[in-house]
Structure 1
Amino acid sequence: MTTNITFSNVLTKGDPQQTPVLIIGQLKHLSQIKYDFIKQKLEPRVSEEIFKNAVSSLHPSPTDSCSLYLNLATLAALPVKCSRHNTPSRSHAITRLIQNCSVGVDESIVVRLC
């Protein structure tokens, strides 16, 4: 199975029905995201109210996720604490979230770490 990874510092427009989206980050950073910034990945399926409710319902222990639209748009929070096994980048937590939350088709993953 081939994997195509593309890195970009800008968001492209997409509908979760056509291109599923997974938004990953620390809870403190996810709560700072303005809906206007991320809406081009979520509209027309996910409203601002649903997005805000999802962010407020996240309780990472060590991780947590919340479906925004079926399983095609998901918000996921990284662990809060670091340890020698959980580096500040939390790379293995990101891998685990992607494995658990992906739907098995081409999808867009937005990572907000800082």
Structure 2
Amino acid sequence: MATSNDLLIKQRSVNKCLAAEGCSAANVHARMKTVYGEMCISDCAVRKWVRIFKREDPRETILCSGRPLSASVTAHGENVDCMIRANQRVKQKEIANAVGILKERVHHIVTTVLGYRRVSACWVPR
């Protein structure tokens, strides 16, 4: 069975296709309701997405939902570790700007994944 996120992405793609064909929001929602039944997104959401899709070029619209998965631990862990080994006094904000991820993700990688802690403004292994 598909997860709710997968179902939402599928419904947005159907919404995108029907909006590109020039269907009205009410028509799109009615057609989606016959296919998805109770699992169909609301009329308000359909109208919102039809407005977005009609404004943009349909070939360039991104359909994924939720946060981007750019701050994966495995991809950035080595970069963060190299920065800390090069300068133990480096700040989390400097790491976040250099790597391009949020400061909270840097904190998670440094403390939980790499096992460092702050002692006298220096990162040291636990």
Which has the bigger relative contact order, CA under 8 A and spacing at least 6? 1
Which band: TM-score by shorter chain? Answer: 0.3 to 0.5
Q: Which has the higher helix share?
A: 2
